[in-house]
Amino acid sequence: MKLFAHWIVAIAAIATMPSALAELPLVIRFSHVVAPDSPKGQAAQRFANLVATRTQGKVRVDIYPNGRLYGDQDEIAALLMGSVDMLAPSLTKLKVLRVPEFEVFDLPYLFADIESAHRVTQGQIGKDLLGKLAPHGVIGLAIWDNGFKQLSSNRPVHMPTDLAGLSLRIQPSKILETQMKDLGAKARPLPFSEVYNALKTGAVDGTEGPVSNFYTQNLHLTQKYLTLSNHGYLGYGVLVNKKFWDTLAPDVRIALEGSLKEATTYANDTAQRNNEEALMAVEQSGKTKVIQLSADEKLAWQKALSKVHQQTDGRIPKELIERIYQESGYHLAAVSMR
């Protein structure tokens, strides 16, 4: 009789298990390398909030910022292995998925302003590039802005020639190496998580990046000057592991897509403001002197960097570069520079 009662309890427990499991939220692990209050950090958080609302808590997005879970060196491998579900690496970092075309975004002065960047990233070219990722196990869902890169160092830099001999941190990229070489500087590819220490210990003399990353990584505590060169664009590809995506129920996928659409609008509407606020914070810190360039100095930068566009050594198809020029208006800007 006692045994029978045990059986009843056990059967009852098993019978209630599926519904208990059904109530567990589906967790999406979203890892990134920047601070929570950077443009990417804030957009990821907005995405997580939207997903929670749209799925009424059935799906939860857990965010791992600051490379806490994975850094530049291993995050894409982790995504492919399914150790993490979503990432948003900078566009140039996507080339390790065997889509070298993503390095095109490193070309200096490719976009005169954020609107011309959006015509490419949010238009057909952006879609086509993201579409190239699927055969490599990853779905490219969206492109988010950070913004335009500035140049920091412990030497006041006005003209490109002021960089001669400096060792400058870059993201791993042949185009960025060429860019630094053309400026007379030494390019030092380093993972993002190592930049602060490399600057602090003097292993490198300076770096490039949007002010939002500069400020939220405390780089202003290590650098005396920040030159507002706006010499390149930094954006992100929002990625999800394809196998994981394919297992999702259609209604979950719809909710995620809708949330991402809204989060993308938010990301691209607020990134510029985030960079402006970071610039004010850097100025107020009194640690780093911000250098504005005169019109002549800006032109000198554009001229010094224009030949990088002819030095891509066939890694990026010419047609893609031409297509981007047409969309961004770079060809017009280049003509006016001559």
Minimal distance in Å, beta carbon 333 to ligand LMR?
25
Q: In Å, how far are 16, 78, 94, 189, 207 from 171, measured between CA atoms?
A: 52, 19, 12, 5, 10
Q: Hey, how many other C-beta atoms are within 10 angstroms of the C-beta on 118?
A: 18
31 binds ligand LMR (CB under 6 A): no
Q: DSSP secondary structure string, 106-118?
A: GSTT--SSHHHHH
302 binds ligand LMR (CB under 6 A): no
Query: What is the three-class DSSP state of 241?
Result: strand
Q: In Å, how far are 31, 46, 93, 245 from 63, measured between CA atoms?
A: 6, 11, 20, 17
Contact pattern for ligand LMR over residues 228 through 267, marking x by CB under 6 A: ----------------------------------------
Residue from 192, 215, 225, 266 touching ligand LMR (CB under 6 A): that is 192
Tell me which stretch binds ligand LMR (CB under 6 A): 33-41, 111-119, 224-232, 273-281.
33-41
Give the interface size with ligand LMR as a residue count (CB under 6 A): 9
213 binds ligand LMR (CB under 6 A): yes
Contact pattern for ligand LMR over residues 78 through 107, marking x by CB under 6 A: ------------x-----------------
Of all helices (H) and strands (E), which one includes residue 192?
A: none
146 binds ligand LMR (CB under 6 A): yes
173 binds ligand LMR (CB under 6 A): no
Query: What is the three-class DSSP state of 137?
Result: coil
CA gap 261, 281 in Å, rounded: 30
Tell me which stretch binds ligand LMR (CB under 6 A): 16-24, 32-40, 255-263, 290-298.
32-40
Minimal distance in Å, beta carbon 247 to ligand LMR?
27
Q: Which of 224, 223, 214 is nearest to 37 (CA)?
A: 214
What secondary structure letter does DSSP report for 299?
Answer: H
Q: Give the residues lining the site for ligand LMR (CB under 6 A).
A: 33-34, 40, 90, 146, 171, 192, 209, 213
